[in-house]
Structure 1
């Protein structure tokens, strides 16, 4: 846990919700490609071609920044990147293709096939700049031998509903792909690949960002099978047969096709949380960064952090108010598998699930506000980043005819917060450093 370097004056904010939104906006701004990417772009090749490729929710904006950077140097650029629908950015020479996330579609399949062709037959004089960000696991869809798009869609749906962590999900996905787990970089051989990452995963391990298409993978098919068994995930027969055969192994450390490649993380959750902390300090609020890699069930996380916030608000322990508790990472939501419960599901995402659980557990605790949102602007399947929790949220919900606990049980966080006007809507932010959570405590013990 990060200890603040300064002690702000104990003056509570006059508009807690506005302060929380300012912190979230600062976190997103810190991860914008225009700010973080240019210092890390490699030099252009002396003789060969410069090819920009990529996949992820931030990849189009990254490509636009990279293209402008090289154009100012008079360097010709070409390439193709794949991003989520609505997350495109105009480029002149790098083609931008939009496809589906979090479940892949045919547009992503066709784009991935075209990307494979673009990097086939490169020379040792060529340089590839790979721009990789969160969301690439679904967008860079290239079923391994013997598998189909339907198989991959079934895999993604099952993993998303299982409660598995992002690292566990990506472990499975990169063993079922013709491009992930280092395979894309291997196709570029003998060209040199420079991978630039915007991290959306706890721990910032490159192999887990978009399932690591350009980095070596030390995990195995046996590890993938163990993950499926742990969460009792049922997948199509063709998928299971491919994993059991061992033929779906990824590119391993030491592979000569990856020799000389570089990999740099240009933006990560930690830096975004620090940017939010600076906004809090400027407002006279002590920030505490609990961690940038919190994982686990969103509902359980909400209950746990509610206890911490309540103890702080009532007793000044373990923190003194006014303060804000900041955290990042990626929580999970396990959905019901029986048909009756599945048919009764609402509209949700992991951030609003966390926030609604926090609100139910706090039960209108005075002096506690919170914001939880995804830094890419999309929580779950909808273009809603997250929501804000006020001390009177539950009171207003009951007045509107909503039962907070029932909404939580139905995983209807978006329905709940949208009905009372507390959703946070940003539109596509064109970056992605995972979840942002801030609990602001203004009450004095």
Structure 2
């Protein structure tokens, strides 16, 4: 198999290891004495809901509502699926979140609240708190994204501006047994950061949210500032030790590490040693690319596949091109690797790199040569944050379509193959 196909199939192996159809059923509890209400949100919400339906007893009560990103829906029978906007929230997501809170508030101790949580849920379940408009919430979210804030930073702010996050879903269930099944897309796999932790205690405060905005030089809209400065303690999120979590469990059922290990196993089937560098790479995308390039030059053992996951950030200029963090990583990597033969892939496991229609891209030893033949200067495209334009011109985008799961980014650097 040629290196390009090896890389593409390794990505598919990583995604398959996080497929809800296979990983979710073993975690389903027995039906309760009362009703089972399924709610949730994220890029994997529809596939998680379908997995629940496929394995739930036909004679046991089951109903609910989940919200997922546009084009990520699936047909279901007992659990309603709503599609909404990501990464900036819209009215459909807001309405769905409010409906979920109303449904949860009608539960009793004999009932089960089954929450299906995955990456993207923060935006998809974004019903603003009283006094904050959806427009203001979108404005703050966009400013944080453009400033290169990490998902931990962004969620520290959003947890205090939305009605479902920061443990408020568990709080609304009135003592029902609550089980959150979670596909992790964040570094560290902490439930409080995944989809802003709808069922997890929130250790942060409104003051922390204000500090994060100040750190990134963001002047919040009037409604946001007023809420964060004036919110009384009873309006804040429930903290660790709050009684509302006495019957709540947050369970991680898929993570980046398992997917990276699946990719390693795939390479090793073809006699290529593989190593997971880290499942929690973070920081500036271009800086991470430089680190990977330096490692590629230092490693003497060949052939070898160097695999990493995590989530990097891109700080955009006011005027910029198109592309997500994975394509930008590869563009920076190929610039740094000039003269060092290597193959590499970088893709988002949800199938969407940033706001484009590709999952990521590929590079090979001939990428710069082919670009030069077409009059493309990789450094210029990198400076303009136009990685999508660069790889589209070369035909090197990876287009998988929505995978309906999400365990962060997947990167593989393949050395020692022609």
TM-score, normalisation: structure 2: 0.97
- Report the equivalent of 1:5: none
Indicate if the aligned counterparts of 1:364 and 1:393 stay in contact, CA closer than 8 A.
Answer: no
Partner of residue 386 from structure 1, selected from 357, 360, 366: 360
Indicate if the aligned counterparts of 2:97 and 2:126 stay in contact, CA closer than 8 A.
Answer: yes
Indicate if the aligned counterparts of 2:176 and 2:247 stay in contact, CA closer than 8 A.
Answer: no
Structure 1 residue 401: Cα displacement: 2.0
Partner of residue 430 from structure 1, selected from 367, 383, 404: 404
1:16-27 pair list within 5 angstroms: 16-27=3-14
Q: Unpaired segments of 5 or more residues in structure 2? A: none
2:401 matched to 1:420? no
Aligned partner of residue 351 in structure 2, secondary structure: coil
Aligned partner of residue 192 in structure 2, secondary structure: helix
Structure 1 residue 276: Cα displacement: 0.1
TM-score, normalisation: structure 1: 0.92
Partner Cα distance (1:429, 1:304) in 2: 29
Q: Runs of at least 4 residues of structure 1 off by over 4 A?
A: none
Partner Cα distance (2:119, 2:374) in 1: 37
Structure 1 residue 435: Cα displacement: 0.3
- Report the equivalent of 1:152: 137
Partner of residue 30 from structure 1, selected from 14, 17, 20: 17
Structure 1 residue 364: Cα displacement: 4.4
**Per-residue deviation, residues 187-220 of structure 1 (Å, max 9, x unmatched):** 1122111000000000000000000011111111
**Per-residue deviation, residues 2-49 of structure 1 (Å, max 9, x unmatched):** xxxxxxxxxxxx511111111110000000001110111111112x11
2:27 matched to 1:53? no
2:285 matched to 1:298? yes
- Report the equivalent of 1:187: 172
- Report the equivalent of 1:8: none
Indicate if the aligned counterparts of 1:158 and 1:235 stay in contact, CA closer than 8 A.
Answer: no
- Report the equivalent of 1:6: none
Indicate if the aligned counterparts of 1:158 and 1:234 stay in contact, CA closer than 8 A.
Answer: no
**Per-residue deviation, residues 286-343 of structure 1 (Å, max 9, x unmatched):** 111111001001111111111111222xxx1xxx11101100000000112xxxxx23
Partner Cα distance (1:173, 1:30) in 2: 30
Structure 1 residue 443: Cα displacement: 5.8
Partner of residue 66 from structure 2, selected from 71, 81, 98: 81
Partner Cα distance (1:121, 1:113) in 2: 13
Structure 1 residue 255: Cα displacement: 1.2
Partner Cα distance (2:312, 2:40) in 1: 25
- Report the equivalent of 2:310: 329
Aligned partner of residue 206 in structure 1, secondary structure: coil
**Per-residue deviation, residues 81-105 of structure 1 (Å, max 9, x unmatched):** 0000011111101000000000011
- Report the equivalent of 1:241: 226
Partner Cα distance (2:306, 2:344) in 1: 9
